[in-house]
Each structure stands twice: as C-alpha cells, then as structure tokens.
Chain A
C-alpha cells in the first residue's frame, strides 16, 4: 500500500470521526440542558431517575456503555443489530456526554448569584425570560472553559468507537497497521487527533474571547 492510498483510506475514517464528533455535540449539548431541567424537577421520581442516569453515565466506562447500547437490544429483546452500529454509537456518545454537560450546566447555574434572579423578577421578567435572557448567557460564559475540556476529551474519545469496529480513524489505523506491518498509520492518526484538537481549541478560544467584553 502506497502512502497516498493509505492516507486516502484513513481519510474516510477521519470523516467518520468528524461526523461522530459533530453529531455527538449537536445531540448532547442541548440534551444536557434537558437533563438539568429533569434533575431539578419538582416531581421527585423524575429527579431521582435523572440522578441515577447521571451516576451511571459518569461511573462506568464509555466503552462498556457503547457495547451495551450495541448488543443490549440483541441480547435483551432479540432484535437484529444489522445496520444499527452507527445509531448505537451515537446514542451511546450522546447519552454519555449529555450527562457530563448536564453536570457542567448545573454547576454553572448554581454559581449564579440570586441577585440576578431577584433583579429580573422585580423588573417583571417571566421565569422563562429570566432564564434565557439573563441567566443562560452568563452561565455559558462561566462554563465555557469546562465545556472546552469536555469537547477536547470527546475528540479523543471518538476512538472508543473502535470497540464496535466502527471504521473511524483509530480502527482503520489499527487495521492497516496490522495488515501492512507498518507503524505509519498510528503516526497519521496521532497527527490527525492533534490537529483536530488544535482546531477545536482555537475555535473555543475564539468563542471565549467573544464573551470577554464583560466580567
């Protein structure tokens, strides 16, 4: 295998990694917000179930969770897993990251001084308007560094999809390395993750900067 063919093959894996990364964020960032609301629910059973969900997501390895999402439907319900690999991966990643994002959101929301709520209430803002106009923008600014950490971890965590032999960069690197007895695929994969993180960090820094107009 020539180097260009190898690059080309791995390029398809890179696209898959990026797709998994983007869809995971697109799903888990909003879902995390829903999870916070459920956790803060006044209806206790919902709050408890949400708490248990968060504990499981954070307390067990993501790789194990991916296997459960993939093989669970087959072993439990006897459903076919044909064509279910990518959905299983997405569900696994989104459910896991939503739990982490939820905890970040919660800590951000809890850190807001009560005076902001009270000032808004006196001025007549509704609860919903207070949350979206006054609280959330400030929370986002406060939690952005923690979000950045999580997003960078996700870039690397996408490699866990190799547990289901999903053909993203890491799986391909392993495969090609074994079949070609070459170390080069790992170098390519390493460079890819490094560059991807560099780009992600750069974007996040820019977003953080755009919020530095106030303290």
Chain B
C-alpha cells in the first residue's frame, strides 16, 4: 500500500440535535479506490463534505499527507489549521458533485483551465495543453469550445471530472457522480472512473452502482445511520456480508 493521503479519525458531525456522523474512521492510501455505499440519509455526503471542508466537523481529526487540517482539543473545541496550511491542504483533494456544478458562463475549456491558471497561477499555455489532453481522455476533445448547457449530463460530468483532475489532486472524491444521469450516460461516466482507477488515481466514491463498486474498488465501506457498519474487500462485503444490516441493504438492491 502507498503512503497515507487522508486519515479521518473519530469524526463526529451533528446537525442541530441530529447526529449524522458518529465515530467515523477512514484512511485512504495512495492508489486506493474506496467505495462508500449505504441507504440515503446514512451520512455519506456529509462524510465527503467534512473531508472536503464544506462542512465543519464537531469532533475528530482530519489529516492530509501528514498535515493536520483539523483536530479536537481536550476541551472538545475543534481547531482547524491556519489559512496558509489550509490552502496547501485544499490542493490535495478534488470533489465531483452529483449535480456537476460546472460554471455555465465558461466554455468547457475554460471550466477546466480557469482554476489552475487563476488559483495556482500556472502558465496559461501549459495548462491549456494539459486541459486538452484531459478533455481528450474524457472523449470530449471536440467539445472544448462548447458551453455546458449544450452538453448531455454525461458529458457535463466528464467535464467536471476533467476540471477536478486539472488541479492534480492527490485524491478525488465523487458524491454519487451518476445519480443524476440516465443509464446510458451513467455507463460512459463509470467507464472514465474505471479508467482512472486503472491509472492508480486515488479515489473515494459514494455510489449506488453496486456492480461498479464491486469491480472497481479495493475497499468497500457500508454506512448506515451515521456509522460505518461494515468495511472490507469488495468480494467479502458484497459476496459474504457479516452484518445483518449490510445483508438487508444489499438484498434491497438485488430485487
């Protein structure tokens, strides 16, 4: 196994009075593909949102590449890293949303190029060359000058993946990347993710595509009610689940 990219320890998250994440431990190593499955409302999105700092944790510790992003003091107070360290840490990950969230006023190429150029301050020509290679990989070489509104959902999601990859993250998170797509469009997006897995891209994927998760991941996590119920090799979790709740959940998918 490669170096540890992300470690989340004893993560707690509460919305008002509702405990949404309880004592979650998640460690992701270089080149690993981790799938997170579970019923809707089980806290999968919240976990990704805590990992990407879109939500603040209420307890626990988050470490990226050995750098502490957040920890809990003895008093229970959560402390996040300072601005400079946080900025650095934020470059370690990317996130692909269920709803794509492309910038509609930017062309496909600009969607992919803008952050590396304006945020990282990289050379425009160099970034453009990389962006075109990425779009080619996504099967979108001829769409560089199109606008998101003229693309299918599957194409939009592939642009979103290219946009995330252009920042060269250490780990890429996916929150139900195909849930907004028709079955045919789902297939083309899953194909891309599978290709990334073959290239040893580190990924954490929340998905309802069970056969995909089984085929592509090194590890599967089943969440329910804000806790990790079962975790392990996909063949074990899917083929021989140990927990009653896992069995029930997987059965509901077979029907």
Identify the closest chain B residue to A137 (Cβ). Answer: B105
Q: Which residues of A contact B114 (CB under 8 A)?
A: 133
Interface stretch (choices A83-91, A117-125, A194-202): A117-125
Q: Which residues of B contact A115 (CB under 8 A)?
A: 97, 99, 101
Q: Which residues of A contact B54 (CB under 8 A)?
A: 118, 121-122
Q: Which residues of A contact B164 (CB under 8 A)?
A: 122
Interface stretch (choices B58-66, B68-76, B87-95, B223-231): B87-95
- How many whole Å from B105's CB to the nearest CB in chain A? 5
A141 to B105, CA, bound (A): 10
> A134 is contacted by which of B90, B95, B103, B149 (Cβ under 8 Å)?
B103
**B138-177 CB contacts (< 8 Å) to partner A:** 147-149, 163-164, 167
**A126-174 CB contacts (< 8 Å) to partner B:** 129, 133-134, 137-138, 141
Is B18 interfacial (CB-CB < 8 Å)? no
Is A182 interfacial (CB-CB < 8 Å)? no
Q: Which residues of B contact A133 (CB under 8 A)?
A: 114, 118
Is A215 interfacial (CB-CB < 8 Å)? yes
Given contact pairs A137-B105, A214-B104, A215-B104, A122 touches B94 in the complex (Cβ within 8 A): yes
Is A77 interfacial (CB-CB < 8 Å)? no
Interface size class of B (residues with CB under 8 A): 20 to 34
A144 to B244, CA, bound (A): 57
B105 with A138: CB separation less than 8 A: yes
B87 with A119: CB separation less than 8 A: no
- How many whole Å from A64's CB to the nearest CB in chain B? 41
Q: Which residues of A contact B148 (CB under 8 A)?
A: 214
Q: Which residues of B contact A122 (CB under 8 A)?
A: 52, 54, 90, 93-95, 164
B163 with A214: CB separation less than 8 A: no
Is B185 interfacial (CB-CB < 8 Å)? no
A118 with B97: CB separation less than 8 A: yes
A124 with B167: CB separation less than 8 A: yes
How many residues of chain A get a CB closer than 8 Å to chain B's CBs? 20
Is B250 interfacial (CB-CB < 8 Å)? no
Is B192 interfacial (CB-CB < 8 Å)? no
B149 with A214: CB separation less than 8 A: yes
Q: Which residues of B contact A137 (CB under 8 A)?
A: 105
Q: Which residues of B contact A121 (CB under 8 A)?
A: 53-54
- How many whole Å from A67's CB to the nearest CB in chain B? 43
A80 to B209, CA, bound (A): 77
Is A41 interfacial (CB-CB < 8 Å)? no
Candidate in B91, B105, B147 with the most chain A CB atoms within 10 angstroms: B105
Given contact pairs A116-B101, A119-B101, A124 touches B149 in the complex (Cβ within 8 A): no
Given contact pairs A213-B147, A215-B149, A124 touches B105 in the complex (Cβ within 8 A): no
**A100-119 CB contacts (< 8 Å) to partner B:** 113, 115-116, 118-119
Q: Which residues of B contact A134 (CB under 8 A)?
A: 103
22 contacts across the A-B interface (CB closer than 8 A): A113-B101, A115-B101, A116-B101, A116-B103, A119-B103, A120-B103, A122-B52, A122-B93, A123-B115, A123-B167, A124-B87, A124-B115, A125-B119, A129-B119, A133-B114, A134-B103, A137-B105, A214-B104, A214-B147, A214-B149, A215-B147, A215-B149
Known: A115-B99, A123-B167, A124-B119. 15 other contacts (CB 8 A): A115-B97, A118-B97, A121-B54, A123-B163, A124-B91, A124-B167, A125-B115, A125-B118, A129-B118, A129-B119, A133-B118, A134-B103, A213-B147, A214-B148, A215-B104
